[in-house]
Amino acid sequence: MSLRVRKVDMVLRIAATLLAISTANPVFAAPATAASPEIPTILKRGYEQLRKADYRGAILTFREAVKQNNNDPLARRCLAYALLCAGSPEDALDQLILLTRLSPPGAVDWCTFGEVYLIAGSYGQAEEAFNDALKLNPELFWASCGIIRAKAMQRDFKAAYRSLAELIADTPDEKKRAYLYKLRIAVRKLELTPVQVKPIERPEISPDTLQDPSQPPQEPPGA
């Protein structure tokens, strides 16, 4: 399968998934499963692997968590993100699709959809996905940066620079500001480049972000 066909396939699969969500298709309802007591420990190990950029190790760890409970949304979310980091957007999309059968997409899920859209070259849809993430969590730095990156990839540089300046002004965290300055350079380089296929690099995402506050907390068994 050619790269172009694979990108189109990813976009179509996302569209079908989101359509099923919007129409409340009953097939997207998963039976409740009792929480596994081992999962928090497994996820913690996976978070540490993500922090060390050991994405392959994190994938194996999060797969172990999913094996413990196939219907655990957090385990699926973490696995999708690890796959994305490892450069496997199609496999990440598979997990996102399964995740939507467990619960409506949260802010982190929309960001991951946005990243897949960026890789697929569907920059307008990517911007919409990041906007949906921001609606659920207005403080999510990943989403704010994603919107800027999507605007830049659409070559709407005026809007990208404006949003970037606003975000820099509203961001006191030095580490995040350092990324934003790099992002500004990347946008400028893109502006001077006739064509760019590879998306602008995303910010570093803390594993803690994957515990999406826009999602309702999971209740313990019997709650």
Domain of 49: which CATH number? Answer: 1.25.40.10
Residues 196 and 132 in one domain: yes
Return the pLDDT at 198.
Answer: 79
Residues 2 and 99 in one domain: yes
Cα 146 from Cα 127, distance rounded (Å)? 7
Return the pLDDT at 36.
Answer: 72
pTM equals 0.78
Return the pLDDT at 102.
Answer: 87
Cα 160 from Cα 150, distance rounded (Å)? 8
Return the pLDDT at 204.
Answer: 86
Return the pLDDT at 209.
Answer: 84
Return the pLDDT at 185.
Answer: 96
Return the pLDDT at 111.
Answer: 94
Cα 48 from Cα 43, distance rounded (Å)? 9
Provide the CB-side half-sphere exposure for 73 (13 A, CA). 24
In-domain check, residue 176: yes
Return the pLDDT at 31.
Answer: 44
Q: Domain tally for the chain?
A: 2
pLDDT means per 10 residues, the chain with 223 residues, are 53 50 39 66 94 95 94 92 92 90 90 92 93 96 96 96 97 95 95 80 85 58 32
Domain limits at 95? 1-25+36-104
Residues 79 and 173 in one domain: no
Among 163, 143, 121, 165, which Cα is nearest to 3's?
Answer: 121
In-domain check, residue 75: yes
Residues 86 and 151 in one domain: no
- Is the Cα torsion angle 163, 169, 171, 177 positive or negative in sign? positive
